[in-house]
Amino acid sequence: MKPRVLIVGGSMAGLMAAGLFRAAGWRATLFERTRGDLTGRGAGLGISLELLKVMKRVDARFDPSIGVAHQTWLWLGADGKAAFELAKPSMGSAWSRVYQALRQTVPAEIYRAGMNLERVEQDGSGVAAIFADGSRAEGDLLVAADGILSTVRAQFLPDIRPRYAGYVGWRGIVEERDLPQETQDLIAGRIVACFPAGEMMLTMAVPGTGEDVRPGRRRCYFIWYRPAAEAALADLFTDASGRHHGAAIPPPLIRPEFIRAMKARAAEAFAPPIAAVVERAAQPLLQAITDLECPQLVFGRVVLTGDAGFVARPHVAAGVTKAALDAECLVDSLAAGGGDIAAGLAAYERSQLDFGRRLVAYSRYLGAYLEAQTRPDALPAALARDPARIIRDYGAPHLIHDLTPENLRALRV
């Protein structure tokens, strides 16, 4: 009889786990609390060779249109002059582009939408998931892929919560054709970085409608990191009716006065081609930047993966890649355990605790320049970090972002 795995969470980590477990001969069922598609939710996303390898392994459809290649990073001053440019190849995509390719790999009969996990029960031989509608599912293993606010983690590690980094990220997406020609020329083949005092903003092209990666048909994505003291956060994330939304407010509920102030500041802080991107973003998104570390990932027959276990700040561009590597390591460790589930889980935990810690630590290093603005006493050296150094160090040193034609050819992309 095939072993049964219950996967909680139907986003990136859950979808990749489902594909890999099925390929390894497990009976997988995936439970996602949201009904319908998650496509509308994400924005820009960093692609790595490791992610593409896992996508290929689960048979997710991908081709060169998976992302837009950037050859260099350009630091653009507020005066519109290039302050520094560095050859640093990378690839940017859209969250929805990767999500859709993965979603299509999971058959409808094993994807159970509208299932909100409430708690987990287990004994020596198996595990049960109990849902808000009162139903129950049983398996040999439960994979928690339920994200940064994981219900499963809260049951086993109630004291572990996301930690606020001291700054927020404003994000937005604009059709490239709606931008001035000078903006389109500036972002062609480049990630453009701007550094208003104590802040950081990145602008780049990502695939457009219908996965179009041709110049003029793509979209332009920006993320703008702005320090915000913890005391100011509550107001930023409170809607016009007075309701507070924690660390991520639904975009239509962001108070218009905050959007107006953000756009007015963009007009002063950035050169016109970059200010135009912010100005034209119809519905900006706002997120408090947090990170998360867990001291343990395995609890009997329950295992934490993806954002449920570790969340690095976005500067390493590795959220989805980490979800892919967790899923791959889990399935391969169980296979190497040869039917001894406990041994397989122990090997997974050893490997991914170390990986998660290193990734979070590096993302904190990269974000220290921003964090130091609200915590100057704690991080005095980071206050003075040079933008050219930030650009050099950006990304995850453990991962392959440089998707050279040779790398891609090896995958037959």
Ligand X SMILES: Cc1cc2nc3c(=O)[nH]c(=O)nc-3n(C[C@H](O)[C@H](O)[C@H](O)COP(=O)(O)OP(=O)(O)OC[C@H]3O[C@@H](n4cnc5c(N)ncnc54)[C@H](O)[C@@H]3O)c2cc1C
Note the residues at the interface with ligand X (CB under 6 A): 8-14, 31-34, 38, 41-45, 95, 115-117, 145-148, 151, 306-308, 319-320, 323
Using the minimum distance from each CB to ligand X, give the nearer residue, 46 or 374: 46
Residue nearest to ligand X (CB): 306
Tokens read off for 94: 């859209």
Q: How far apart are CA 235 and CA 213, in angstroms?
A: 38
Render 341-361 in DSSP notation, one character per residue: HHHHHHHHHHHHHHHHHHHHH
Using the minimum distance from each CB to ligand X, give the nearer residue, 34 or 407: 34
Work out how close the CB of 318 gets to ligand X at its nearest, in angstroms, rounded to a whole number: 8
Long-range residue pairs from 177-186, CB within 8 A, at least 24 positions apart, any chain: 177/216, 177/217, 178/280, 179/220, 179/273, 179/276, 179/277, 179/280, 180/272, 180/273, 180/276, 182/272, 182/273, 183/220, 183/273, 183/274, 183/276, 183/277, 184/215, 184/216, 186/74, 186/76, 186/273, 186/274
Work out how close the CB of 251 gets to ligand X at its nearest, in angstroms, rounded to a whole number: 11
Work out how close the CB of 409 gets to ligand X at its nearest, in angstroms, rounded to a whole number: 26
Work out how close the CB of 70 gets to ligand X at its nearest, in angstroms, rounded to a whole number: 15
Tokens read off for 241: 């009716």
Work out how close the CB of 299 gets to ligand X at its nearest, in angstroms, rounded to a whole number: 16
Q: Which is nearest to 307 in space by CA: 320, 289, 288?
A: 320
Q: How far apart are CA 402 and CA 70, in angstroms?
A: 9
Using the minimum distance from each CB to ligand X, give the nearer residue, 276 or 320: 320
Query: In sequence order, what E strands does 123-178 have?
Result: 127-131, 136-139, 141-144, 163-175
Work out how close the CB of 132 gets to ligand X at its nearest, in angstroms, rounded to a whole number: 8
